[in-house]
Structure 1
Amino acid sequence: MVNPEIGKRVVAAGIPTNYHDIGEGRPVLLVHGSGPGVSAYANWRLTIPALSKSYRVLAPDMVGFGFTDRPEKYNYSMDNWVKHIIGFMDALEIDKAHIVGNSFGGALAIATALRYPERIDRMVLMGAAGTRFDLTEGLNAVWGYTPSIENMRNLLDIFSFDRSRVSDELARLRYEASIQPGVQESYSSMFPAPRQRWVDALASAEADIKTLSNETLIVHGREDQVIPLSSSLRLAELIEHAQLHVFGQCGHWTQIEHTDRFNRLLINFFNESRLLEA
């Protein structure tokens, strides 16, 4: 059986990288979160089909995640993750792209836009880290995950407001992804306790965030137990050209819990960009 999480392969910043490349048009780069067993496909499987009707959608597994290589003794840091994103764009000869960052991926999107402003067009930040906040119990549980189906089921309950969306089958699939060779070893090395320091490490300086000129759509679930709503409220205050959409009865999985509405938000936001520039 073909694994849909495995797509194409390219060497980005020296790292053999698994990615998905679907559709045609202006490129949109999707950057996943940092949950255990995550991959670009698992994170964006319901977003890619909608966006790819109008855009070229690119969704890489960031180094340390999914089916991208995990170099031995690799230093998992903001600097290196940003280099991986830019290396990925360079490898595919993409000069500039819209970017959509989920959670951890939101922090990477902000950092990339700050360091390489000429490479990033519009930004979507969904349940994004990137500001300083007190470590939540939910995020501590996510980063402190140790493999078991029960632990994965508990994590999925934290991610979703509506527990009926969390099936035993989904928990089993994500658990199996989290125990692939080398996965837990690299994952446990990324965010070891005490974990407040990693929240802070993912945060960009507020003075720098204020300099962002990108048109930015900020999306958050009101009941998010992983990244607090206050993070997105602060980003909306700091980013000059920002709009904020908060989904009620929604946890950390906006793109899964409110798929159609989320996809329409993105498409309208990116299409507005085209109309403004026409």
Structure 2
Amino acid sequence: MKIQDFRNRQQMHSLEGLIDTPLQIAATDVGDGDAVVLLHGIPTWSFLFHEVIDPLAEHFRVIAPDMAGYGYSDRRDRFDRSIEFQADVIESFLDEMGVDRAHFVAHDIGGGVALILADRRPELVRSMVLSNSVAYDSWPVDEMLALGHPRNAQLSSEEMTDKLVESFQFGLSRKERLTDEFKEGIVAPYQESDGIVSLVRNAASLNTNHTTPLTHRLHEMQQSTLLLWGEDDRWQPIDTAQRLVKDLPNAELHPMRNCSHWTPQDNPDEFVSETLRFLQATPVAV
């Protein structure tokens, strides 16, 4: 899907009570049935899922927000960008959308947000598909630590685009999947000056202390969980998934061969088929 078509069906939602002014969240909401919430990571936005949203929406109501500070959601210097705050935002957003129970399909730091919510609000999280997710002390990676330096807020759109495209080249195993459509879509919000500043702020907020306190409670998370993991990922290697499958009581691991970090882009067909197989077999969470 082209960037403009994707943008045309995003809607803005105004959330009260999170900061001292309404917080604006952009989101796609398509399909009917049980809710499936797609959570992207850094440095992407919900366009990461542009090839998987419609196939999933044939079976579920698919809700794909841009997290605060990402994509076309609020970019102002008015709020925290940590994954703890992102969990607050997703809770408030789902309440606004009338969703009190959902499956979570989450990538990278989106997986950290899903784990926080599974611990904090187990009744909200029916199941989880965690794809190359942060956990334990597996993050932040060197590239994001470097990106978070305040001087990078002064980068030109060309310089930021070069940084992002380099990360896509590193994070895809199938080089033919580095399509112009994907590159143009992902970089679009980060070519604007406020988008560049916001992405740098997002990178500066990354803090492993927001997942390490969950480690001793993972065994209490009863949600059915699929670890849908690109085997070639050098940022969030598959050892993290192998550790999670032991610590989460109802988890299974599906390695994705010839896939690296950006799994929904590296192999969208396998991403969709495995997610549907898992979600359609998921029992009601306790």
Q: Which band: TM-score by shorter chain? A: 0.7 to 0.9
What is the aligned partner in structure 1 of residue 33 from structure 2?
A: 25
What is the aligned partner in structure 1 of residue 73 from structure 2?
A: 68
1:119 aligns with 2:124: yes
What is the aligned partner in structure 2 of residue 44 from structure 1?
A: 49
How far does residue 62 in structure 1 lie from its aligned partner after superposition?
Answer: 0.6
| Letter in structure 2 aligned against 1:154 | E
**In 1: Cα distance, 2:275 partner to 2:184 partner:** 30
- Alignment size in residue pairs: 270
How far does residue 199 in structure 1 lie from its aligned partner after superposition?
Answer: 3.2
**In 1: Cα distance, 2:245 partner to 2:56 partner:** 24
**In 2: Cα distance, 1:135 partner to 1:80 partner:** 17
Call closer, same or farther: CA 1:152–1:2 in 2, change over 3 Å.
Answer: closer
What is the aligned partner in structure 2 of residue 59 from structure 1?
A: 64
What is the aligned partner in structure 1 of residue 6 from structure 2?
A: 4
Q: Is the 8 A contact 2:147 2:200 kept in 1?
A: no
Q: Is the 8 A contact 2:172 2:259 kept in 1?
A: yes
- The 5-angstrom pairing of residues 1-278 of structure 1 reads 2-6=4-8, 7-12=10-15, 13=18, 14-35=22-43, 38-40=44-46, 42-133=47-138, 136-137=141-142, 140=145, 147=157, 148=159, 149-167=161-179, 170-192=182-204, 198-273=207-282
| Letter in structure 2 aligned against 1:88 | F
**In 1: Cα distance, 2:65 partner to 2:277 partner:** 23
Q: Secondary structure at the match of 2:207?
A: helix
Gaps of 5+ in 2: none
Call closer, same or farther: CA 1:246–1:139 in 2, change over 3 Å.
Answer: farther
**In 2: Cα distance, 1:69 partner to 1:89 partner:** 17
Call closer, same or farther: CA 1:138–1:227 in 2, change over 3 Å.
Answer: farther
Q: Is the 8 A contact 1:20 1:60 kept in 2?
A: yes
**In 2: Cα distance, 1:103 partner to 1:88 partner:** 20
| Letter in structure 2 aligned against 1:78 | I
**In 2: Cα distance, 1:11 partner to 1:55 partner:** 24
**In 1: Cα distance, 2:72 partner to 2:140 partner:** 28
Call closer, same or farther: CA 1:168–1:231 in 2, change over 3 Å.
Answer: same
Call closer, same or farther: CA 1:179–1:268 in 2, change over 3 Å.
Answer: same
For the aligned residue pairs, the C-alpha RMSD in angstroms reads 2.4
Call closer, same or farther: CA 1:134–1:25 in 2, change over 3 Å.
Answer: closer
Gaps of 5+ in 1: none
Q: Is the 8 A contact 1:219 1:244 kept in 2?
A: yes
Call closer, same or farther: CA 1:199–1:228 in 2, change over 3 Å.
Answer: farther
Call closer, same or farther: CA 1:102–1:16 in 2, change over 3 Å.
Answer: same
| Letter in structure 2 aligned against 1:22 | V
1:173-210: CA deviation from partner (whole Å, max 9, x where unpaired):
53343122411212212333xx9x72343444211111
**In 2: Cα distance, 1:67 partner to 1:123 partner:** 25
